[in-house]
Structure 1
Amino acid sequence: MTALAGGAYVLGIPPFTKVGTIEESSVCASLGPSAHAVEALRSILPEQGSYRFDDETIPRRSKQDDAFAAYCFVDGDESQLLSVRALFQPDAPPDMWEEDVALGDPSHSLTRFDAGIRAVASHSMAAIFVPCEPRGVLPGGQHNLSVLVHLKQTGETSTGQRRAGLITLARSAAASAHERADCTMPFDVGGQK
């Protein structure tokens, strides 16, 4: 045992552990521009020895196709840290959409922010209801995207910082989904350009 290791043992200092890094090249494409995503991810995720990103997209094959979905899962050393999903769905009243989203928020502390048709966030999730296709393009009327970012394990940040990071990720993922789903209706992402 070296003197340094022996001194750490005597003082009760735990061994140093390797902290993984979140690299732009690893981040899910469905999260939008890597630089935005990396900064937000670093601000909300707990330190881990490594991070793994799993990205899956089910593209629309044509304008008459209503089967778009995008998923991103971020795993740490032993468990899932974050999930992001964007689903194409028929229009619904914004209040009904918000009620559905609220069912997945264990903190019961969703508050609205500016983006899309409706957007809500707490310190553990953020969601945006995004306009996509107007009435008359697909059977069933207008279709929208429902984008949800769910933080499953938190880092050492305040609840306000986590909420801000989740909103940044939701806006970026929503803009990416809007583009990748070939949506024709305009979409205001709110605080991000």
Structure 2
Amino acid sequence: MKKIAVILAGCGVYDGAEINEAVLTLLHIAKAGASYQCFAPDIDQLHTINHLNGEEMQPNRNVLVEAARIARGDIKALTELTANDFDGLIIPGGFGAAKNLCDFAIKGSDAQVNPQMLRACQAFANANKPAGYMCIAPAMIPLIYNTGVKATIGNDANTVHAMQKLGAQHVDCAVSDIVIDEQYKLVSTPAYMLAQSILEADAGIEKLVGAVLRMS
């Protein structure tokens, strides 16, 4: 049975992992006959957002503790992730991917990836194991792979420009489709960067999961 590592950025679209994207990812891994293990960094979130009104909340929350809500408690600290134990990697989106796993949401083209995250993702890249990034998470791709790597991040001009400045070759992609960089076994899909419904997000996520499993 193939085993996929899934890295979550918390719990909630505005400050953590996008819950629909995360759950659909886990569902499609399981429906394909593979297994998964969730991971998240044991760090404070950048901030915690009230998802009813968009305002900041206190006290702030922990990324691993919040991500455990999605994983039903079956989750490990990101420092425990060893690429050799898995056949592939998938990272759902949500603004937490650009706030907690890296600082793209704040620094744009000057962004850096959290050191734990960078180590984990580069381990899969260096082992030539497939990886899938969705929604805003592909912002990290040019910081993990080489300049010129192909990926998609939706069609917001400023976001695309910042990703290109980081070194990616951006490819326009429909919400229901995926972009594959065959050289790196790397898959990306716009998900909720473009999706107007859970059905639209699901179409690309199912393809992304399928592509990662096929290449593993």
Q: Output the TM-score relative to the length of structure 2.
A: 0.31
Q: Which has the higher strand share?
A: 1
TM-score by length of 1: 0.33
Larger Rg: 1
